[in-house]
Structure formats: C-alpha cells, structure tokens
C-alpha cells in the first residue's frame, strides 16, 4: 500500500555533503570566463581605474554603445555569448528535481520584474530602457536555469569559483602591467576592475568562509577563504566593501538568534561603542589622527561628502522631483548626456548613482525601490528560518550575502545591477522558491515519531513549522 507521507529531497544536516560535481565545476568555470569578459576592462590596466573612470574615461565608448549594441567590444560580446552558453548547459544538464513554489517571494519577484518591464511605457529613453531590460531578463533567465539545475552547495561553490577567478585575473593583469605595488601607500587593488568591485568580491569570499566554519570538515579551507577575502578588501582600500564585509560577518552569526539574545548583543555593542568614544575623546590629537587615518583606510580626501557622493545624490534628488514614484525608466537615467550634465556641476563623472537605493529610485521610483527592499528583507527572513531549521551553512551564507548587499548598497550599486553580484543575489532569491523541497522538508509531526517541531530562535520567524529528519 503506498504511503501518503510527504517526501523530501533535503539531506540530513549531519550527513557528509557531496563535493561539487564535475558538471557544476564546468559550468562554474564557463561562468567565470563569461564574467571576466563582461566585467574586466583590460584597456585601462596600468592606470588608476577610479581616476580614469571618474575623469570621464569611457564615456566616448558608452556613447557608441548607446547608438548601437553592435559597437560593444569583442571581449564583451564573447563574454555575453559565454554567459548564454552557461544557461544552455544548465538547461540540458542532469535533472535536479527542483519544483517551483508559488509563495510570497515568487510573487514579489514577479511584481518587481514586471514593474521594471512596465517602465518602458514611461521611460525618457526607450531605446536605452529596452536594451537594459534585455540584459536584465537575460540574467534572470540564466539565474533561473542555474537555481533549478544545481543544489545550493553547488551554487555557492560556483559563486566562490567566479569570485576567486575574477580576483586572480585582476591581480594578474596588475602584475603583467607592472603596477602591482602593494608596498606603496597609494596602491589599491584594481587593475582591470574598479577597487570597489574587487573589494566586494573579497567580502563575498570572506563571508562565505566565515559561514563554512560551522562545518568541521571545511574549517581549514574556510579560514583560508576568510583570510584571503579580508586581504582583498583591505588591499582594495574600499570602505564600502569593508562595510559590506562587516555586515555580512555579523549576519553569519546573528541570523536565527533569539530576540532577547539579539537585544543583548545590540546593547553590548552600543556600550562598547560608547566606551570607545569616551576613550577617543580623551586621546591625544596625534593618536586621534592615526586612528582616523586607519578607519578611513588611508583615504582622507572628500570624507565629508562621502567621496563626492552627497553632491551627486542631491543633484539626482532635484532631477527626480517630478518622477519620484515611477522613476525615469529602467536604465534610462545614466546616459552619456546625463553624465556630462551632472559632471559639469559636481566636477566628476559618476556613470552610476553610487548607491543601489538611489539607482532604483532613479530607474523605478519609490514603487520599484519599495518592492526591491521588501523582497530583500523577506528573503533574509526566509534564509534565517532555513538556517535554523536545517543547520546548513549555505543558507546562512546566502542570507548574509543579502545583508552584505544591503550595507554595501548604501554606497555602491553592484548588488543591484544585472552584473556579477546581482546575478548572485538573483540566484539566492530564486533558491527560496525553486529549491524549497530541498531546503525545508514539509513533514507532519503526527505522521512519524521521529518528527519534531522547530522552535524559532529568530525574531524573523513568526511561526513554528514541523520538521522531520528523513530516514
């Protein structure tokens, strides 16, 4: 007689996890090559990336691309083709058994993507919006195919492979150009990538390593990842990456923590900060200068304006006075014309908003910004629940990745763009409604004596859910 008990693909938390499959490794390596082609700019290796870009370098190339996508460099064309090939391999690869789950996260994701598509109707530059929507939906399709095809451990492994190869290629480009000089005080990692970008990749690596420390068999390699990622963040001198790293590391330890314990940690942290400020107040001035220099990672120019961000945001806010609810259309704000217009006022050429929140506000208005923030918070809450229920470090890492994105997004747009980090965010969110059977087994406690109830230890988990270890 067939059993009516629900089945699940979820592995036991105490069972040894399989290594990444050869097929997943192949896809990860191809994805790394695609991301290098799409994100690395080898034409400016040997110069200071941040100075070249903010001085207006590359705007002529952007103008040609705006006229026709055929003007993209051969490297980027090959990178995009390799990216589509990644989706093809994920489509035809071994079946994974993942099933779509219609839940709040799926609805929020669909609503956000639909709002982005609808912005074509009111876009101030429909050609640019259409082009950016093609890019966005291509990334979404590939992310869906990857999330359907591979388990969460293999997805996390792919993220690490992409980050490590991207970092290695960037450092190698600097070495070949003879500009890898970490002994010089003004040196910043970032040859073919912007220092803030390579800093974000380092933060992702370190947060993943910190999460993996929870698994005894991975501790040696995990410490290596934590150390390597931290060195990359420090070498990039990126304060936005440092903020993302700090938020991610805290999230690894705090996701799933009980409300009272979380309040205790917050109170303790506030007390330590208060004591630190008191000590700083009575510290001699030379020591204060040294402390400030260290906290600012040696970069003391334009600190009051957040390195020129505040004037940029003020000008954008004035620009959007009549478009705050809908925005100007997805991808339609940062045209070459807009760069020159703002550059003449703020005396640099940003090419993006340097804040994911301002970027979303400009493109999709308060409606799109609200949908995206709610979606991100809901995803963090779900990962907190899964981390507690399954005790798997991968879910803790993915939740921490989103928290890191929230913190880094105050100053940068990387986690909100359909680029490398944006792909990771999309894959993480898709896991929550494409891999649900694998992550949170649905079992009725009354069906078997082995069933137990998972009591939430997190203020983000609002109800108790039956949980049964598969036998």
Q: Is the dihedral of CA 356, 361, 366, 372 positive or negative?
A: negative
**pLDDT at residue 439, rounded to an integer:** 43
For 105, counting Cβ atoms within 10 Å of its Cβ (0-12 exposed, 13-18 middle, 19+ buried), the class is: buried
Strand partners, 466: 453
Tens of pLDDT, residue by residue over 219-249, are 899 999 999 999 999 999 899 999 999 999 9
**pLDDT at residue 303, rounded to an integer:** 67
* Mean residue pLDDT across the chain: 81
Answer yes or no: is pLDDT of 11 > 50: no
**pLDDT at residue 351, rounded to an integer:** 84
Answer yes or no: is pLDDT of 16 > 50: no
* 413, two tokens: 């747009």
The helix (run of H) or strand (run of E) holding residue 465 is strand 465-467
Mean pLDDT over 328-348 rounds to: 87
Answer yes or no: is pLDDT of 454 > 70: no
**pLDDT at residue 343, rounded to an integer:** 83
Residue 196 CA: distances (Å) to CA of 242, 354, 415, 458: 10, 10, 12, 32
Answer yes or no: is pLDDT of 470 > 50: no
Q: Are 225 and 209 in contact (CB under 8 A)?
A: yes
Answer yes or no: is pLDDT of 53 > 80: no
Tens of pLDDT, residue by residue over 152-172, are 899 999 999 999 999 999 999
> Where is average pLDDT lowest: 9-18, 158-167, 304-313?
9-18
Split at pLDDT 50, 70, 90, the class of 185 is: confident
Q: Are 458 and 409 in contact (CB under 8 A)?
A: no
Q: What is the C-alpha separation between 371 and 132, in angstroms, rounded?
A: 19
**pLDDT at residue 70, rounded to an integer:** 65
**pLDDT at residue 13, rounded to an integer:** 44
**pLDDT at residue 400, rounded to an integer:** 96
Answer yes or no: is pLDDT of 141 > 50: yes
Residue 140, Cα to own-chain centre: how many angstroms?
14
Answer yes or no: is pLDDT of 6 > 80: no
Split at pLDDT 50, 70, 90, the class of 300 is: low
Q: What is the C-alpha separation between 321 and 89, in angstroms, rounded?
A: 45
Residue 201, Cα to own-chain centre: how many angstroms?
9
**pLDDT at residue 383, rounded to an integer:** 93
Answer yes or no: is pLDDT of 56 > 80: no
């Amino acid at each position: 007689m067939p059993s009516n008990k629900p089945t699940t693909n979820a592995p036991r938390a105490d069972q040894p996890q399989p290594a990444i499959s050869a097929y997943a490794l192949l896809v990860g390596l191809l994805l790394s090559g695609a991301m290098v082609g799409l994100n690395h700019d080898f034409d400016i290796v040997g110069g200071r990336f941040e100075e070249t870009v903010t001085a207006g370098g590359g705007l002529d190339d952007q103008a040609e691309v705006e006229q026709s996508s055929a003007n993209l460099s051969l490297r980027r064309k090959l990178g995009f083709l390799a990216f589509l090939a990644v989706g093809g391999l994920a489509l035809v690869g071994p079946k994974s058994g993942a099933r779509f789950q219609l839940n709040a996260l799926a609805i929020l994701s669909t609503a956000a993507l639909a709002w982005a598509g609808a912005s074509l109707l009111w876009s101030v530059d429909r050609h640019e919006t259409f082009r950016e929507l093609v890019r966005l939906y291509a990334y979404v399709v590939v992310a869906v195919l990857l999330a359907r095809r591979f388990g969460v451990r293999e997805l996390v492994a792919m993220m690490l492979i992409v980050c490590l190869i991207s970092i290695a290629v960037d450092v190698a480009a600097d070495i070949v150009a003879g500009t890898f000089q970490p002994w010089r005080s003004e040196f910043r990692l970032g040859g073919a990538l912007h220092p803030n970008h390579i800093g974000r990749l380092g933060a992702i690596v370190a947060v993943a390593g910190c999460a993996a420390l929870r698994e005894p068999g991975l501790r040696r390699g995990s410490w290596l990842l934590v150390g390597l990622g931290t060195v990359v963040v420090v070498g990039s001198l990126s304060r936005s990456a440092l903020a993302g790293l700090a938020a991610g590391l805290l999230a690894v330890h705090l996701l799933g923590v009980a409300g009272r314990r979380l309040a205790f940690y917050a109170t303790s942290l506030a007390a330590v900060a208060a004591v630190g400020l008191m000590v700083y107040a009575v510290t001699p001035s030379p020591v204060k200068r040294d402390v400030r220099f260290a906290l600012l990672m040696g970069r003391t120019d334009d600190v009051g304006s957040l390195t020129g961000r505040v004037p940029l945001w003020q000008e954008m806010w004035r620009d959007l006075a009549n478009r705050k609810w809908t925005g100007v259309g997805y991808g339609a704000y940062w045209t070459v014309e807009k760069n020159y217009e703002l550059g003449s006022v703020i005396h640099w050429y940003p090419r993006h908003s340097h804040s994911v929140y301002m970027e979303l506000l400009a493109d999709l208005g308060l409606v799109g910004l609200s949908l995206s923030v709610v979606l991100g918070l809901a995803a963090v809450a779900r990962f907190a629940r899964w981390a507690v229920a399954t005790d798997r470090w991968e879910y803790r890492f993915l939740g921490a990745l989103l928290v890191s994105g929230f913190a880094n997004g105050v100053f940068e747009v990387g986690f909100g763009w359909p680029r490398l980090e944006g792909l990771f965010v999309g894959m993480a969110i898709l896991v929550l409604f494409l891999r649900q059977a694998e992550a949170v087994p649905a079992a009725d406690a009354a069906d078997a004596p082995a069933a137990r109830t998972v009591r939430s230890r997190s203020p983000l988990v609002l109800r108790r859910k039956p949980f049964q270890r598969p036998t």
